Amino acid sequence: MNSKHQYVELSDGYFIPALGFGTYKPEEIPNSNTIEATKIAIEAGFHHIDCAYFYQVEEEVGLAIRSKIADGTVKREDIFYTTKLWNTFHRPELVQSCLERSLKKLGFDYVDLYLIHSPLSMKPGEEIFPCDENGKFIYDTVDLCAIWEAMEKCKDAGLAKSIGVSNFNRRQLEMILNKPGLRYKPVCNQVECHVYHNQKKLLDFCKSKDIVLVAYGALGTQRIKKWVDQSSPVLLDDPVLGALAKKHKRSPALIALRYQVQRGVVVLAQSLKENEIKENIQVFDFELTSEDMKDLDGLNRNFRYIATESMADHPNYPFADEY
């Protein structure tokens, strides 16, 4: 059991492991693979598991975690588990019900972190992506501050220890931070973040407000056809990452993960392959020099793999702002 964990303190006093295991997967991969991969991750030493209602694998992830608790590998309090409020549950009266659905699937009493998955409210109902007869998404208009107040109630009820947001830009974060009567501020903002889109301005803003930045897509995403342009550059093939991997006798993936850890970013690593999962946990075994960090900073091109352009006409679309 790898016990070398690094933690980042959240503004509410809880601690989040600096490295997390991501559980989103392509639809064509069977859900049973998620059970196996999550078990391997926990055995390898991952204590931070990132999931979401939208991923539709919470039953499998819950099963894997509970089996590792049952066999004595971990206790529930060792695991930091994140789930997310989906876009069709944004109306304040629905916010807690989404979390309750996740808890039921997981077989848990609480989650460690509950995030607003994105600011893009959609029509309530059982459809993950509600569409009209022309295949156009059906949006909903919900005040982000009203959603946040419902999130605060989930924390009050003890169903989530910490609450935060995901895919929010600076302006949207400020709306919540400046909300009259704010009781809990978002502890984190989970966004796409990697060497091609290092989010420096958003990171600096979040640090100034004591909000932790959590990076998804840190290895260039899984390049799922539905979301990612297949002609986009393959992040892990980048020659600068390759050269640093050679220099440190590590994989390009580990260099990309280490870069985030050293910037004070909590980073999610995603893989269904046993060798990769076991390798990713080794991010704390080496250090990049300030020169290395500068070289990696130089790769930034503000490039998003997941720009969700199909929803660019949504009034709360977050990616039109500079950051």
Question: Looking at 53, 55, 81, 305, which residue is catalytic?
Answer: 55
Other CB atoms within 10 A of residue 315 CB: 9
Say whether 55 is catalytic. Answer: yes
Phi first, then psi, for residue 292 (nearest 5°) are -60, -45
CA separation for the pair 66, 182 (Å, rounded): 35
Q: How far apart are CA 69 and CA 59, in angstroms?
A: 15
Comparing C-alpha atoms, which of 124, 57, 135, 54 is closest to residue 92?
124
d(CA 40, CA 229): 30
- Please count the residues of the chain: 323
Alpha carbons 126 and 134: distance in angstroms, whole number: 19
Distance CA 89, CA 140 (A): 10
Q: Which amino acid is at 166?
A: S
The token pair that represents 253 in the structure block: 């993936």
How far apart CA 24 and CA 192 sit, in angstroms, is 14
Q: For 189, list phi and psi in degrees, rounded to 5.
A: -130, 115
47 is in an annotated binding site: no
Distance in angstroms (rounded) separating the CA atoms of residues 276 and 236: 13
Annotated binding site for substrate: 117
Catalytic residues: 55
Annotated binding site: 117
